[in-house]
Structure 1
Amino acid sequence: MVLADKLLIGTYKLRKCLKPGVALCSFRGGCLANYCSSNSPKPVTLPGSTFAQNTSRGGLQGHRPKEADLDISSPEEKPEISFDKAIRDEVKDHFRRLKDDIVNRWIGPEGRPLHEVLLEQAKVVWQFRGKEDLDKWVVTSDKTIGGRSEVFLKMGKNNQSALVYGTLSSAAPLDGEHSRSGYCAMISRPLRGPFERRRSYDWSQFNTLYLRVRGDGRPWMVNIKETTDLIQRKDQMYSYFMFTRGGPYWQEVKIPFSKFFFSNKGRIRDAQYQLMTDKISSIGFTLADKVDGPFFLEIDFIGVFTDPAHKEEFAYENSPELNPRLFK
């Protein structure tokens, strides 16, 4: 009877020890060693072992962890890349921009009422208040032809302006092809509509370019390009000078559109044409004063406005000898 009671008590304790949900500590006290067969070796659990680390996070669910609880990804699995989804998203974005263009055409530019646009006397086209404003511009220099000039563009103090700075070098590249060098430029990126369609700025209701800048006393060339599909006209632009005073104070520069002269590949043409302000593609600033050394130009904003006192339509004369097309 005593032997039978011991067997019954041992069986009961063994079932209780192997009950699912019991923590690992129940095994460490020799529970299996006391009630399992004496021929089987005792389990040895070393500190820091993998089994102890895995089971110390929570209770042991049965004799082996469930596969659903394991969060182990196979090394052969790769992130799913769907080109079809990317194309669909791109097409949706272009159609959304096309819809905005159509709606704005009926309502007015930038979704404003048309009567407000017609009565507008001034407009800020570019301002610099963050990195997204800098992304609308690109800088270039004579390094593209082997020169030594350097130009950089960054945000100014307190993210309230754009700072163009660098070093101008008039040393000609030693390639045997170019005899002149020494220029740096900052150019706005052309407007792009839906499906990469070219767009243009319409400044026909304004007559003056308006800038707020701060420079180091150097003269800059302001260049305006028209929207054109002709390859032979890609180097044509309209230009005028902007003289900076230098010093710590901001200056407001006002340049009438009638003052811009026509040039091709940097050369002023004998035949002059009036700037078409309803088809503006981009605007740029070029430094090429042949003075080697550091430079900087800080720009607050670039805009347009209507000067009621300015009545001049075109500042340059034409004659049948210079421009026969205008006198046919």
Structure 2
Amino acid sequence: MSRKIELDFQVWMRLRTFFYKLLDLQISWVHRFMKSEGMIEESSTHVPGEEIERLKFSVKQWLYEQKTHLSNEYRNQSHQESLTLFKFDSADVVRQWVSMGDGDMGGKSNSKLALGANKKLLWTGNVSTAVPRDGITFQSGYVGIRSRLFMASFYRDGVLDLKPWNVIEIRLRGDGRRYHFNLQIDEQFDATYEDLYFHPIFTRGGPYWEVVQIPFSHLVLSNKGMICRQTTAVDRSMVRNIGFSLVEHFEGPFRLEVDYIKFITDDAHRQACAYEFAGSTHGMDWGSKYGKV
């Protein structure tokens, strides 16, 4: 009898979650046709046929998201399974990333992204430590790239659910500089919105490619470029974007090539966080404004 009650409760919880998701989709779809001041857009800006096709595509995408989520939840998490998130073999994949640097804030560092001659992501540029004379900035010499926000169904900003995997694997070729792999999760407050998990990558230079594996448990929490005294385990179900950065005091050109970024499961890494000062830094969880993709 108790077993039947437990099963009925699980069914009820799944139905409740399903209806909550439908309500979230309805609100998101309404916001799609609302201006910032809360007024509905003019009907002349919409073509009924196109909107119907968009609705069909969004429904199919939402059903795929639910199927993928259930598959991730109940999959056999053996070490052979992996997820190749980015395989940089076309210009379309490269366009899913953006470059940034202190040049956007008055500095002189610059960088650019391109598809290399060998069909790999090519990130090149120049690092300059010259500080702009604005009376505010006191340090310079930063460039970075990151993936664009993941798009969920019904035109929502999405997050990735990477719970089935615990190791990041990257095939790259560097120039001998020290780069950082960055991972950002969804945060709700201004004080934590700049939180970033990172791990250094020491490239060896030369003509040879190398494969780097980074366990999620080895990522370090930082805020606005400063390492936090306390760190927490990465919430792998709320990944907002990933990227690379270069912060050095050595001026000059740089060059980094990336072949792929994938996530794998390695049973040798079972710890949630590898550092001594592991503990809560936020204290509260108010959910997410993003949809899982």
- AA aligned opposite 2:203: T
> How many Å apart are 1:140 and its aligned residue?
0.6
Residue 107 of structure 2 aligns to a residue in which SS? coil
Cα distance change on mapping 1:183 and 1:89 into 2, 3 Å: farther
Q: In 1, distance between residues paired with 2:246 and 2:132?
A: 18
The residue aligned with 1:51 is: none
2:105 to 142, 145, 161: 145
Contact kept, 8 Å, 1:107 with 1:114, in 2: the verdict is no
> How many Å apart are 1:250 and its aligned residue?
0.4
The residue aligned with 1:108 is: 68
The residue aligned with 1:134 is: 94
Indicate whether 1:218 and 2:180 are aligned.
Answer: no
Indicate whether 1:254 and 2:213 are aligned.
Answer: yes
Q: In 2, distance between residues paired with 1:278 and 1:112?
A: 14
Indicate whether 1:154 and 2:154 are aligned.
Answer: no
Q: In 2, distance between residues paired with 1:130 and 1:197?
A: 25
Cα distance change on mapping 1:244 and 1:95 into 2, 3 Å: same
Residue 252 of structure 1 aligns to a residue in which SS? strand
- AA aligned opposite 1:314: C
Q: Structure 2 unaligned runs (5+)? A: 1-42, 285-293
Cα distance change on mapping 1:113 and 1:211 into 2, 3 Å: closer
> How many Å apart are 1:231 and its aligned residue?
3.1
Q: Any idea what the Cα deviations from partners look like across 1:98-128, whole Å, max 9, x if unmatched?
A: 212332145336x989876755621110111
CA RMSD in angstroms comes to 2.8
The alignment of Structure 1 onto Structure 2 pairs a total of residues equal to 242
> How many Å apart are 1:307 and its aligned residue?
1.2
The residue aligned with 1:69 is: none
Residue 83 of structure 2 aligns to a residue in which SS? strand
Cα distance change on mapping 1:155 and 1:89 into 2, 3 Å: farther
Q: In 2, distance between residues paired with 1:179 and 1:87?
A: 52
The residue aligned with 2:161 is: 202
Cα distance change on mapping 1:209 and 1:190 into 2, 3 Å: same
Q: In 1, distance between residues paired with 2:50 and 2:244?
A: 33
> How many Å apart are 1:195 and its aligned residue?
3.6
Q: In 2, distance between residues paired with 1:275 and 1:319?
A: 11
The residue aligned with 1:62 is: none
2:145 to 176, 186, 189: 186
The residue aligned with 1:231 is: 190
Cα distance change on mapping 1:121 and 1:141 into 2, 3 Å: same
Q: In 2, distance between residues paired with 1:270 and 1:183?
A: 23
The residue aligned with 1:300 is: 259
The 5 A counterparts of 1:2-21 are none
Max Rg structure: 1
Q: Any idea what the Cα deviations from partners look like across 1:15-45, whole Å, max 9, x if unmatched?
A: xxxxxxxxxxxxxxxxxxxxxxxxxxxxxxx
Residue 133 of structure 2 aligns to a residue in which SS? coil
Residue 60 of structure 2 aligns to a residue in which SS? helix
Cα distance change on mapping 1:141 and 1:311 into 2, 3 Å: same
Q: In 1, distance between residues paired with 2:53 and 2:191?
A: 33
> How many Å apart are 1:96 and its aligned residue?
2.9
2:81 to 118, 121, 124: 121
TM-score by length of 1: 0.67
Contact kept, 8 Å, 1:164 with 1:296, in 2: the verdict is yes
Contact kept, 8 Å, 1:123 with 1:303, in 2: the verdict is yes
**Higher mean C-alpha displacement, 121-130 vs 304-313:** 304-313
Cα distance change on mapping 1:275 and 1:106 into 2, 3 Å: closer
TM-score by length of 2: 0.75
Contact kept, 8 Å, 2:72 with 2:164, in 1: the verdict is no
1:167 to 126, 147, 171: 126
Q: Compare the two structures and name the one with the higher strand fraction.
A: 2
Residue 232 of structure 1 aligns to a residue in which SS? coil
The 5 A counterparts of 1:282-297 are 282-297=241-256
The residue aligned with 2:287 is: none
The residue aligned with 1:177 is: 136
Cα distance change on mapping 1:177 and 1:106 into 2, 3 Å: closer
> How many Å apart are 1:91 and its aligned residue?
3.0
